[in-house]
Amino acid sequence: MNLDHLIGQRDEFNYKLIHLSKTSSTNDFAVDIISKSEPEGIFVVFADEQTAGRGQYGRKWQSDAGKNLLFSVCFPSDWLSLDRIFDLQLLASCALRECVFPLLSQSITLQIKWPNDLIANHSKLAGILIQNSIRDYKLSWSLIGIGLNVDQTDFQSLDKATSLKILTNQSFDRMKILEQFMNVFLQRLNLLKNGPQDIFMNLYRKHLYGSNEYLTAEINGKKIDQVKIIDVLPTGQINVEISGLQKIFSFGDIRFFLPD
């Protein structure tokens, strides 16, 4: 497949941008490109509308056409060992928070909910979904799909969702936010390649939603109150305290609820 939808080379950030009016999901579109061709370097798939967007746990991502920032960043990741794959979650979450934080007033609390949602004042502002292509037991490509609520104000049944417009009463240029994010992301990607391995883990822990607090969680289909988040491990697992005992869970085995 060639990149027929390519609208330009972002030379200042060294990535290619594919802009779609509508697609099932930007991650699916990017996976199709990678599976049918050998793209060079980093590329971004950006869509005005997704008909089958999804978030963590396979949930549908609800988004009005043209009002939110829906995109996937795709890059070769063969330089990263499999035992450090959670570093990509750390990178994406921290970079997104760094990009969004200056757009909000200082009175708004902006945190990262394990494993990688962005939470503003206890409501979901953005979600991240990462997919990896592994060949010969090594990482080959990674796709970071991001859905950031920008100008949407009606989320229907989603009572724990918010947007930049709801938080600020202002409208935003989605393309400018995308460019700002990519500027931050590519700088941080280079830091991940060449800097200290624990730099993003420390940032992630600093901004972790519910750290050392008691939350309601679901474990094996059962709701449990008073679950205290102790720490997130470099493997991506989370250490929690339940009834005075510490337990470690992997992604998918536990999920936390935002307060009513």
Average pLDDT for runs of 10 along the chain of length 260? 42 78 95 89 95 62 83 96 96 98 96 96 96 93 97 83 97 97 96 88 96 95 96 97 97 92
Superfamily of the domain at 6-206: Bira Bifunctional Protein; Domain 2 (3.30.930.10)
Q: Quick one: pLDDT at residue 255? A: 95
Q: Quick one: pLDDT at residue 223? A: 96
Q: Quick one: pLDDT at residue 38? A: 81
For 9-44, b/e burial (b = at least 16 CB within 10 A) is: ebeebebbbbbbeebebbbbbbbebbeeeebeebbb
Q: Quick one: pLDDT at residue 247? A: 98
Nearest CA-CA partner of 233 in 247, 215, 213, 219: 247
Q: Quick one: pLDDT at residue 226? A: 95
Q: Quick one: pLDDT at residue 222? A: 94
Supply the pTM of this predicted model.
0.90
Q: Quick one: pLDDT at residue 169? A: 97
* Residue 146 one-letter amino acid: I
